[in-house]
Amino acid sequence: MNNIVSKILIVANLVFSLCFMCFAGAVFTFQAGWRDKANKTQSQLTSANDQVQQLQGDKELLTTKHAKELGDETTRANKAEAKVNNLDQNLKQAIGNLANAEKERDKHLADLQVAQQEAQARITETNDGRAEIKRLRDQNNEAIAVRRGLEDKNLEMVGELADAATREMKLLKEIKRLNELLRLNKIDPRDPVIGPVPKDVEPVDGFVVESRKNASRSTELVQISVGSDDGVYKNMKMTVYRDSKFLATIQITEVYPDIAVGLVVEETRNGTIERRDNVTTKF
């Protein structure tokens, strides 16, 4: 029994010894590569640590810088927020002002419409007033024309009145003179007039405008340049003469204010009646 166990142990000892030898040989064989790799890894680790430290420093710098920038940006953000709040308040105030301005504008528009309507009414009223003024001006012009006519007539009447007054004075003087003449001839002026009184012939001088024979060529008609305004009346007898030569006697048959027509009732042989011959009541 001991023999078998010892044999087994010897074999196991052999196996383990061979394994130990193989393990040690493998370690001796590959340890150089492992060492290089370890050195390389160590150097990489060192450089990585350096880089990590550098990056850590950079990170701290960046962190500090970013913290500072963050503080600045935070300050700016706070300022901007305050500004935005102010702007919001200003905007709200401006919106309120705008609403007030719109209300004011609407009110002014309503006032403007009312004013426009009133202005239109005033324009219509003014046009009516102008038409009324034009009508009154026309009436005034007509009244002025009438007044001027009346003034002219008044002046004419005043002149006639003055002439009448002068004539009245002359007639009163003539009546006085005639009364004195009657008294001088021992005639009472208050005695009544008995019998026909011949018509007083006033001296009228004119000239022949035209003369012609009538249809039978027996009687000559003469148109003279004086008429009723000059004291000529119908059936009045007048004398036609030329340079102190008696030509004919005519009897007035037609009388007009400024002309008259006479019929030749007596004709001499001193000549025929022609245009521009003189005519008178007393030759």
Partner 1 sequence: MSQQSSDPTIYDGLMFVSLGAVIVGIVFLIMSLDGYGWSAG
| Residue 156 amino acid letter | E
Site for partner 1 in 31-90 (CB under 8 A): 31-32, 35
Token output for 49: 């640590």
Q: Is 256 one of the binding residues for partner 1 (CB under 8 A)?
A: no
- 8 Å CB contact between 276 and 262: no
Q: How far is CA 154 from CA 28, 143, 150, 162, 165, in A?
A: 169, 15, 6, 12, 16
Q: Is the dihedral of CA 120, 123, 128, 131 positive or negative?
A: negative
Within 10 angstroms of residue 206's Cβ, the number of other Cβ atoms is: 18
5 vs 184, which CB is nearer to partner 1? 5
Beta bridge partners of 208: 224
Which span sits near partner 1 by CB under 8 A: 9-17, 141-149, 241-249, 254-262? Answer: 9-17
**Contact assessment for residue 255 and residue 178, using Cβ atoms and an 8 Å cutoff:** no
- Residue 41 C-beta: closest distance to partner 1, Å: 15
Cα(62)–Cα(59) distance, rounded to whole angstroms?
Answer: 5
Going by the DSSP 8-state scheme, the letter that residue 219 receives in this structure is S
When the beta carbons of 24 and 110 are compared against partner 1, the nearer one is 24
Q: Which is nearer to partner 1, 10 or 82 (CB)?
A: 10
Least separation in angstroms between residue 46's CB and partner 1 is 17
Q: Coil, strand, or helix at residue 257?
A: coil
Stretch of residues binding partner 1 (CB under 8 A), selected from 2-10, 80-88, 232-240, 273-281: 2-10
Our CB check for partner 1 shows the closer of 15 and 172 to be 15
- In the bound state with partner 1, the residue whose beta carbon lies nearer, of 37 and 130, is 37
Q: Footprint of partner 1 on residues 15-34 (CB under 8 A)?
A: 16-18, 20-21, 23-25, 27-28, 31-32
Which C-beta is closer to partner 1: that of 28 or that of 195?
Answer: 28
Considering only CA atoms, which of 270, 216, 225 is closest in space to residue 243? 270
CB of 48 to partner 1, least distance (A): 20
Instruction: Tell me which of 1, 4, 5, 14 binds partner 1, using CB under 8 A.
Output: 14
Q: How far is the CB of 39 from partner 1 (least distance, A)?
A: 11
Residue 9: its H or E element: helix 2-184
- Our CB check for partner 1 shows the closer of 28 and 186 to be 28
CB of 40 to partner 1, least distance (A): 16
Distance of alpha carbon 19 from the chain centroid = 132
Sole binder of partner 1 in the list 2, 4, 6, 159 (CB under 8 A):
6
Assess contact for 279 and 260: CB atoms under 8 A.
no
Among candidates 232, 237, 247, which has minimal Cα distance to 277?
247
Q: Which of residues 28 and 196 has its CB atom nearest to partner 1 in the complex?
A: 28
Question: Which residues contact partner 1 (rule: CB under 8 A)?
Answer: 6-7, 10-11, 13-14, 16-18, 20-21, 23-25, 27-28, 31-32, 35
